Amino acid sequence: MYTSYFGLEEKPFSIAPNPDYLFMSDRHREALNHLTYGLGDTGGFVLLTGEVGTGKTTISRRLMENLPENTQAAFILNPTLSSQELLATLCDELKIRYRKTGATLKTLTDKIQQKLLKNHSENINTLLIIDEAQHLQPEVLEQLRLLTNLETNTKKLLQVILIGQPELQQLLQRRDLRQLAQRITARYHLLPLNKQEVEQYLKHRLSVAKCFRNIFDKSAVNAIHKTCKGIPRLMNLLAERSLMNAYNSNNAVVNRKIVLQAAHDALGDEFQVIPWWQNRLLKSVSLIATFGLVLVAGIWWGSHQLQETGLEVKLTSEKKELPEPPLTIATVAMPTELTQENSPRNTESKDISAEVTNNQSVPLSSKNETPIEAEKTSRLLKPEPKLANSPSTVQPRANVSVKVPAKPAIQNFAVEATEGVSEALLASFQSAIEETKKVDEFNVNDESIQDSSDESELLHLTQMPTWVQDGVPTLAFEMHIYSSDGQGWVRVNGRDRYEGDYIGRELLLSEIRPQKVVLNFRGEKFIMDALSSWH
């Protein structure tokens, strides 16, 4: 099984209530203290409740191990009994002899009272522990209360511990059981473990089984806590199945993916972690939030449009109040083409196109113009700057589009002779291109040399530090198949292994090369021959 694979002496996550594996969290320690306090000199009833699988029975077993030597305890696991059957079971647990046939409540009660008086005279405390007490009938609980009526001036002769699920608290709230409820001297409700205690719980169980390394990573611990809600029994089932799945998949560490698969296999679909995109509550909240954002955006857009409309109305009304003065209109003839013979722009490889309307009419200023309108008119009549070495003409505004040729790649240069180019210049260009190609090839070769040098930096296992050599387990590489696409394999210790497999404890097969393999042990990489042995 997986115990030898992970270096465990025994299964650490058994659901049996083994007190050796009891994880004493703050809650469990407090519960045990309450039970011990309730068994003091005062006596009476002690109540311990908790959800299913929180560790109530395990705590009771630990309590019985720590009982003083002068204590006689009776443990009842099946409380679905009548009053007479319960008294008969108590007699059996306390080793009280009685007639099996014809026994009545009176005879059994008398026998039990005689035993209690005898134990008290011999300075022996008598304890009764009832597990799954939520199944007790009200008349049976009342019979137990009557048994505790036997007492001295200082203490009760019978002490009772009731252990059960939260339904037991509801049962004791009945009006006909109020006398028993008043005799409970200690109460405690055991809660599940929190996230930090879940991680400590897993480490504690593994350490008891003689494994002192972290088998469950952070993602696995989070998944276990979210799936099991901190219930130890469910955590045992899920951790047990996770270790089996990790062993079957050759994984030395349990991750979140393995835990989720184990939850589906061991606990059923109802305990699976639901992805956030499938959460109904999150979907509803996201839908409401989206609707709210759309509503707010619509309100803002509407108010913005309303403000712009009101501004336009206001401006229009203000414009209508201004008188429209008469203007004197004149026209200025604009040239249709620009002289570009001496322009320096003709030397650039750009395509410039300009469109100017012939005989464009521009209004001149009038005497009745406002200052703003006069400034606009002056800007319209202001000539554009002249081109250098060009005739004194007014430069009109033009639409200019520039085409810049893309820079060709070095390897795509093609030299062709054109008219007016000498053969010497052509040969010089061709020589420069050849030199550039040589430089590129040298850079490529240099990179490959660098890569190979990086690979050669890996040392052989015999040259690694002592702690690495001592930690690597026994290896026997018996067969080696290399493939350039990563599909090769080697036979190690009688099993076929591939790249990415763990071939030993914390020993990873990183890479398979033509005549050697690259291994990784605790972050340290080294090389071994493909067909060799290590002892």
What are the pLDDT digits (tens) for 56-77? 988 888 888 888 888 899 999 8
CATH code of 253's domain: 1.10.8.60
Judgement on whether residues 64 and 159 belong to the same structural domain of the protein:
yes
Q: Tens digits of per-residue pLDDT, 274-319?
A: 555 666 777 778 889 888 899 898 888 888 777 766 655 555 555 4
Give dist(CA 525, CA 507) in Å, integer: 10
Q: CA angle at residue 397 from 391 to 403, to 5 degrees?
A: 95
Judgement on whether residues 123 and 69 belong to the same structural domain of the protein:
yes
Q: CA angle at residue 456 from 497 to 477, to 5 degrees?
A: 25
Give dist(CA 294, CA 68) in Å, integer: 71
Selected residue with higher pLDDT from 371 and 107: 107
Give dist(CA 116, CA 100) in Å, integer: 20
Residue 323 placed within a domain: no
CATH code of 499's domain: 2.30.30
Judgement on whether residues 417 and 295 belong to the same structural domain of the protein:
no
Judgement on whether residues 428 and 469 belong to the same structural domain of the protein:
no
- How many domains does the chain divide into? 5
Strand 495-497, strand 489-492: pairing: antiparallel
Q: Tens digits of per-residue pLDDT, 305-355?
A: 777 666 555 555 554 554 554 444 333 344 434 334 444 444 343 343 333
Last residue of a domain, one of 190, 211, 246: 190
Say whether pLDDT at 385 is over 90: no
Which residues are 489's β-sheet partners?
A: 481
Residue 80 placed within a domain: yes
Contact 177, 138 (CB under 8 A): yes
Residue 353 placed within a domain: no
Residue 251 placed within a domain: yes
Selected residue with higher pLDDT from 391 and 484: 484
Judgement on whether residues 55 and 153 belong to the same structural domain of the protein:
yes
At 466, the amino acid letter reads: T
Range of the domain at 414: 409-443
**How many Cα neighbours within 13 Å face the side chain of 316?**
6
Judgement on whether residues 42 and 183 belong to the same structural domain of the protein:
yes
Q: Round the average pLDDT of the chain to a whole number and report it.
A: 76
Report the pLDDT averaged over residues 22-37: 86
Cα distances (angstroms) measured from residue 228 to each of 222, 244, 247, 268, 299: 10, 18, 22, 12, 46
Judgement on whether residues 172 and 42 belong to the same structural domain of the protein:
yes
Highest mean pLDDT, choosing among 31-35, 170-174, 349-353, 395-399: 170-174
Judgement on whether residues 30 and 87 belong to the same structural domain of the protein:
yes
Residue 97 placed within a domain: yes
Q: Tens digits of per-residue pLDDT, 186-237?
A: 889 999 999 899 999 999 999 998 888 889 999 999 999 999 989 999 999 9
Say whether pLDDT at 251 is over 80: yes
- Report the percent of the chain where pLDDT is more than 90: 25
Judgement on whether residues 179 and 199 belong to the same structural domain of the protein:
no
The predicted structure's pLDDT at residue 5: 86
Judgement on whether residues 78 and 171 belong to the same structural domain of the protein:
yes
Report the pLDDT averaged over residues 491-503: 87
Residue 376 placed within a domain: no
Residue 527 placed within a domain: yes
Following CA atoms 228, 230, 232, 238 in sequence, which dihedral angle do they give, to the nearest 10 degrees? Answer: 30
Judgement on whether residues 128 and 206 belong to the same structural domain of the protein:
no
Report the pLDDT averaged over residues 410-438: 64
Residue 325 placed within a domain: no
Highest mean pLDDT, choosing among 20-24, 36-40, 521-525: 521-525
